Amino acid sequence: MHRSVGIVVPAYRPDIERLAAYVAAIDERCAPTTIRIELDAPRSGVAERLADLPAIVATSPHRRGKGRAITAGFEALDTDVLAFADADGSTPADSFADVIAPVQEEETALAVGSRRHPDATISRHRTFARRRLGDTFAWLARRLVDPQLFDYQCGAKAISYEAWDAIREHLYEPGFAWDIEVVAMVEAFGLGIEEVPITWHDQPDSTVSPVETSLALANGLLAARHRAALIAESRLHAAIATRREAPTALIEAGRPDR
């Protein structure tokens, strides 16, 4: 049985030529049913310059954050497999296809691209500061949440629709912490996760602020740990939750269930 694939590419102030080339490459290599570019706060004329791509361009007048943008894109898809790749093209189309394959072939519920896997290939390294912050976060994440992965934040993941349907109401992180929240929720529901080594080509002109993002990731990591414990019916975390204001799930601002 052929399982259809929908791809979301979240983009904020992207390099237009690079994004256009990347979307064309993943369309050719991955042959998805649909590609959606979730474009936040576009400058004048940007959406029009992307109009000829084999993709739907969905725009937001403000910056929603990576997690909120991908969630909106996934909610708009009607495919068996939902996947996303960061707009800077750091994960080449061939590697992105490798990430999608285990979910499309029903070998796992969630496939996580991994830059830190022993079999991964780094064709261009990040700056020392960004690399050190990333390594520190991965080390901390392995001690606070399950499963034990080499890389939680790589911008290439694929999930089955069934797994997405199970976790979608439990996602709250609008920014970069969304990645680890997805991993923690899939694990909390006892669904399969496979880490896929990729080729990685870091883009030095990323719009990510290492310090601000690291602080947000640390907060998101603790929140993901708490929410995973709630699903596991931890009495301690249930007691903590009663003392906090209930957060708003990302999908509550999105489209209704299909």
3-state secondary structure the chain: CCCCEEEEEEEECCCHHHHHHHHHHHHHHHCCCEEEEEEECCCCCHHHHCCCCCCEEEEECCCCCHHHHHHHHHHHCCCCEEEEECCCCCCCHHHHHHHHHHHHCCCCCEEEEECCCCCCEEEECCCHHHHHHHHHHHHHHHHHCCCCCCCCCCCEEEEEHHHHHHHHHHCCCCCCCHHHHHHHHHHHCCCCEEEEECEEECCCCCCCCHHHHHHHHHHHHHHHHHHHHHHCCCHHHHHHHHCCCCCCCHHHHCCCCC
pTM of the model as a whole = 0.89
Write out pLDDT tens, residues 64-114. 999 999 999 999 999 999 999 999 999 999 999 999 999 999 999 999 999
Is the distance from CB of 228 to CB of 146 less than 8 angstroms?
A: yes
- Which residues on adjacent β-strands are paired with residue 11? 39
Residue 27: how many CB atoms within 10 A of its CB? 16
218 to each of 37, 52, 70, how far by Cα in Å?
28, 39, 20
Kindly report, residue by residue over 172-224, the tens digit of the pLDDT: 999 989 999 999 999 999 999 999 999 998 776 555 555 566 677 888 888 88
Q: Which residue segments constitute the domains of the chain, with CATH numbers given?
A: 5-253 (3.90.550.10)
Q: What is the pLDDT of residues 122-144, one digit of tens each?
A: 876 555 556 667 777 787 888 88
